[in-house]
Amino acid sequence: MKHRSIRIALAAATVVLGVAAAPVQAQQMPPWEAQLYEAAKKEKEFTVYTAHYSTEEASRLCTAFETRYPGVKCNFVRTTAQVAFQRLQQDLMAKVAVASVFSSTDVSHYPALKKKGQLMMYRPHNLDKVVDSLKQYSDPEGYYTVTAAALMLITYNTELVPQAEAPKNWPDLLNPKWKDKVSIGHPAFSGYVGTWVVLMQKLYGWDYFEKLEKNSPQIGRSVNDTVTMLNAKERWVAAGPEATTLMSRDKGNPLGVVYPTDGSLLMVSPSGIPANAPAPNAAKLYVEFMLDKEAAEVQVKSHSLSVIKGIKAAPGTKPLEDIKVVRPTEEEITVGIPEVKVKFRDTFGI
Amino acid sequence: MSASSGVLHAVSRRWRHTDRSAWVWILAVLVLAFLVLNPLVRLLVVSFQEGETGSFTLANYLAAYGRSRYVEALGNSLTLGFWAATLCLLFGVPMAWALSRTDMPGKGLVWLSILGTFIIPPYLGAVGWILLAGPNAGWLNRMVVALTGVDSGPFNIYSMTGLVLVVACYSFPYVFVFTKSALDLVSSEMEDAASILGASTMRTTLSITLPLVLPAILGAFILVFLEAIALFGSPALLALPGRFHVVTTQLWQFFEFPPRVGVAAAYAMPLLGITILLFWLQRRITSRKGYVALTGKGGERRPIRLGFWKWPLLGYCLAVCTLSFYMPMVVICQAAFAKAWGRGFTLDNFTLNNLYFTLFENNLTRNATINTFLYAGAASVIAVTLALCVAYIVNRQLVGRHTGNILSFLTMAPFVIPGIVLAIGFYAAYTRPPFMLYGTAWILILAFATRFLPIAYANSNAAIRSINPELEDAVRILGGSRFTAITRVLIPLLKRSLAGAFILVFIPATRELSTAIFLYSINTQVLSVLLFDKSDEGNFEMLAAIGLLLVIITISLILIGFRFMGRDFMLRRTPG
């Protein structure tokens, strides 16, 4: 009840202020959108399994969706990529259709689902709005579309490390002065870390990790664990996520980020619609929404990157065009992650 | 097969003679089969199945034990289980004795601290301990450095020792409650006999009192051992950075994409073997002796006068509680009330926003809170009822000895199955007709009830063992039915033990994570899952706020419960 009244108040406020976020009238929508919206209203509600965002951000995105499309309720289950995937598999095996949208951060999930015929084909109309450099990461056949992007870079505790002394590039983390002071995640738990390990191997060979081992890095699970370790001052520098680190800095925690001169790792995360989606029209509408302005603005506020053109970065975040980004090819990632997981365990013993 | 026909045979024989309550036993056995046997059988079947086709294979076992790393993890789990359980005895037994038998002051405070400890999810406690004893920046280490001027502090929580300590801190309440409820039933007369013969207090305690409660202590030891090797949260936080694996973190890897459920099931099998072995040992040790302490003949219980020694004893109790409760709670409160916890204790860093957001602005938290306590309550009622039935059947030999052993094993078995694996078993068993429970609250309630059934059982079992059957026989001789004997004599005598069992299931059910994470659905979220998700988001302020909320609500609910049951519940000596 309370939630709804807040939403009405919000809607009223936006109407009064004439802000663009007001519900778009059906007749103002392009025909395809109006059509999807009508069909989605009949489905009433839909559920997103997402690993892309924090709970708060996922919740804000759903609220923004419901504001734009009154009458369609947006539910979400926010969890880690592996758990989201496990749940989807469970649902499929149990023949219980729950998720209408599946958003994982592990890109290897999508080809696997596609191969088994468990994804629905849909080419969003809003695909044209996507940043050109990100277009290549969506499925050319239209079984999944990139809806989120973020960076992994070097992070540090600003009370312990002066800006001038912070590492400037990835090999700087191997400097003996950081012995017992580096924090990283584990590729078996985190899709981010897995991709990062593949990238480091590609750039510097496995030697990189043999040397990193000598610095006894602290190995957590999720890439976000590095944020906790820096805040606790247990570790000084880390290979961490941009978005979570800056969100924590916004609260006043003493954290800083460095965009490595040899390139920040670009993480792209697709969304797909399961073939058995109970609300396929609402799902399509949601994917379109994710490639539109409102969703991009919500994401940018949480320091994620905008996947569409023409959105300004949040204060304190470098705009994407000013950053050197690198990313292994999709094949290198899909083939590489299982391989580096084994190597990682051999080198670090866990 | 033979087990169930044995049950039926025995039950039908009883049915012909006077026992009209037999249907209750049949029902209990059926429920047990549904909750424990079915998922266990599924697990066993899956361990021999090829993933895609379902055909018979041994490949899962080869994959599960084919690497030395996997076998090492098994060894680490056994080490962890043994030392954690031993430490739990060192923590729990003296405290139980102090609170039950002595005139130590400050009993209420100690008892509340133990309750608080039990309520903290082990995962949350582990996070607290990382901040306390992290090798670089842990508060304790910094204190040592500041006081002595050494280069680095001595504590490293990321080690087997650290893990043992943290696991023991959050498991010793089991030992405490089990031992205490057994000690509460031992009458002073038995100790008097020893004193009259000239034994000292110490000698009496060690050679009379403690041996009398040996079954309870052994049961608790096994329970804690099994709990320690089935935990996932604390090892994931402490063992991985400490560079070693235990069974549960290893199991997690079998669920990586593509998930290998068969291998995981095969890998979990030795745990079942260990459970069987422990039970066999327990029976060997206790079977030939009598432990009946509560008879119909009265018996007085007086506190032992400790004199000066009550102060060191109180010091010990408070020291343990400081490790397990006070120090971690200080850390958690600091974070829950901090704008940015990395900034430490300053006034301008104080905020109520985290708590406010958690309580009022977040629908998810509110629904999850209601679900958590509702499910935990329902699960406790089911588990305690079932455990009591089985304990009664087994102890009063309403079924044959072998059937009794099997029933007892089935009741205890769920504890050793790591929550993740139990969830998979549940999932495999109850997502297909005729039992379609997936997506409903029932699958969570039943999974919680099953997971903590062993706790309820160990508690009920120890309680029933200590009650002399003569009390019921008296009712039967006077013409009362078994039902009358149970409801009018047994239940009133067991009331406090049962309430204890309820709490012992209720609390871990509120913090249960590993089963919930696989079985919850959009409308059935619980707080533990929210906490887990937060851990992965790097948002420690919110994590601490939700954790604090969980602790405060649980403590309040339990205190209200005590009020309801009588104010000095669990603190008062049993009137004879």
Predicted local confidence at residue B576, as pLDDT: 31
Chain A nearest-CA distance from B34, in A, is: 19
B69 interaction partners in chain A (CB closer than 8 Å): 345
DSSP state of B303: P
Asked if B11 and B22 touch (Cβ cutoff 8 Å), the reply is yes
Q: Tokens for A5?
A: 């009244």
- Nearest chain B residue to A186 by CA distance is B240
Contact A233 B137 (CB under 8 A): yes
Confidence of residue B22 (pLDDT cuts 50, 70, 90): low
- Split at pLDDT 50, 70, 90, the class of B21 is low
A228 → chain B, closest CA residue:
B538
**What mean pLDDT is reported for chain A?**
88
For A235, name the nearest residue in chain B, comparing CA atoms only.
Answer: B136
Contact B562, B569 (CB under 8 A): yes
Residues on chain A touching B438 (C-beta within 8 angstroms): 90, 94, 96
Residue A78: its chain B contacts at CB < 8 A? 533
CA-to-CA separations, B76 to B71, B160, B238, B422, B555, in angstroms, rounded: 9, 8, 13, 21, 34
Three-state DSSP class for residue A332: helix
Q: Do B137 and A221 touch (CB under 8 A)?
A: no
Q: Mutate one of B46, B136, B334, B361 to test the A interface: name it (highest A CB count within 10 A).
A: B136
Q: Please give the model's pTM, rounded to 2 decimal places.
A: 0.82
Judging contacts by C-beta atoms under 8 Å, the chain A residues touching residue B244 are: 349-350
- Identify the closest residue of chain B to A53 by CA–CA distance: B537
- Nearest-Cα distance to chain A for B275, in Å, is 27
| pLDDT for A11 | 46
Average pLDDT, chain B: 82
Torsion, CA B505, CA B510, CA B515, CA B521, rounded to 10 = 130
pLDDT of residue A14: 43
Highest mean pLDDT among B70-79, B288-297, B486-495: B70-79
- Per DSSP, A129 falls in state G
Residue of A nearest to B137 (CA): A234
Among chain A residues, CA nearest to B514: A83
Question: Which chain B residues are Cβ-neighbours of A100 within 8 angstroms?
Answer: none
**Contact call for residues B573 and B300 (beta carbons, < 8 A):** no
- Quote the minimal CA–CA distance from B530 to chain A in Å: 9
As a whole-number percent, the residues of chain B with pLDDT over 90 amount to 20
Contact B536 A47 (CB under 8 A): no
CB atoms B259 and A89 under 8 Å:
yes
If 0-12 CB within 10 Å is exposed, 13-18 middle and 19+ buried, where does residue A176 land?
exposed
Report chain A residues whose CB lies below 8 A from the CB of B540: 228, 231
Containing H/E element for B215? helix B214-230
Which positions in chain B touch A252 (Cβ < 8 Å)? 339-340, 343, 349
Share of chain A above pLDDT 70, in %: 92
The torsion of the CA quartet A165, A169, A172, A174, rounded to 10 degrees, works out to 150
Residue B461 has a pLDDT of 82
Residue A31 predicted with pLDDT over 80 = yes
Q: Which residues in B lie closer than 8 A to residue A90 (C-beta atoms)?
A: 427, 431, 438, 518
Distance from CA of B57 to the nearest CA of A (A): 21
Rounded mean pLDDT, A176-195: 91
Residue predicted with more confidence, B377 or B533 = B377
Q: Check residue B377 and give its pLDDT.
A: 95
CA distance A143 to chain B (A): 20
Contact criterion met (CB below 8 Å) for A114 and A139:
yes
pLDDT at residue number B285: 77
Q: Which helix (H) or strand (E) holds A271?
A: strand A264-274
pLDDT at B13 (0 to 100): 59
CA-to-CA separations, B440 to B13, B33, B525, in angstroms, rounded: 39, 20, 11
Q: Which of B328-342, B410-424, B466-480 has the lowest mean pLDDT?
A: B410-424
CA distance B53 to chain A (A): 14
The residue type found at A121 is: M
Report the pLDDT averaged over residues A154-174: 96
Q: Which residues of B85-124 are buried (b: 16+ CB within 10 A; e: fewer)?
A: bebbbebbbbbbbbbbbbebebbeebbebbbbbbbbbbbb
Collect all residues with Cβ–Cβ distance below 8 Å to A98 and sequence separation of at least 6. Answer: A47, A49, A87, A91, A278, B439, B521, B522
B17 or A43, higher pLDDT: A43
User: What pLDDT does A257 receive?
Assistant: 96
3-state helix, strand, coil in chain B (%, to 5): 75, 0, 25
B575: left (phi over 0), alpha (psi -120 to 50) or beta: beta
Q: Residue B557 in 3-state DSSP?
A: helix
Kindly report whether the peptide bond that precedes residue B154 is cis, defined as omega within 30 degrees of 0.
no
The residue that leads in pLDDT, B22 or B570, is B22
Q: List, in order, residues 6 or more apart from B459 with CB less than 8 Å away.
A: B177, B178, B181, B387, B497, B500, B501, B504
To test the contact with chain B by mutation, choose from A253, A302, A337, A343 the residue with the greatest count of B C-beta atoms within 10 A, namely A253
- State which residue of chain B sits closest to A254, comparing Cα positions: B342
Chain B residues within an 8 Å CB radius of A304: none
Chain A CB contacts of B522 under 8 Å are: 47, 75, 77, 98
Q: Which residues of B touch A219 (CB under 8 A)?
A: 240-241, 243
- Written as six digits, the tokens of A36 are 């999807």
Tell me the C-alpha to C-alpha distance, in Å, between residue B573 and each of A87, B351, B495, B560, B568.
50, 44, 14, 20, 9
How far is residue B176's CA from residue A274's CA, in Å, rounded to a whole number? 50
Closest Cα in chain B, distance from residue A28 (Å): 32
Of A157, A224, A232, the CB nearest to B131: A232
* pLDDT tens for each residue of B307-337: 888 899 999 999 999 999 999 999 999 889 9
B49, B257, B542: best to mutate for the A interface, most A CBs within 10 A: B257
Task: For chains A and B, count residue pairs whose Cβ atoms are closer than 8 Å.
Answer: 135
ipTM of predicted complex: 0.76
Q: How far apart are CA A159 and CA A136, in angstroms?
A: 40
Beta carbons of A227 and B538 less than 8 Å apart: yes
**Chain B residues with CB inside 8 Å of A230's CB?**
342
**Cβ neighbours of B245 in A, within 8 Å:** 350
Question: Could you tell me which residues are beta bridge partners of residue B435?
Answer: B432
Q: Quick check: A350 and B537 CB within 8 A?
A: no
- 8 Å CB contact of B342 and A254: yes
- 3-class DSSP state for residue B436? strand
Contact B533 A55 (CB under 8 A): yes
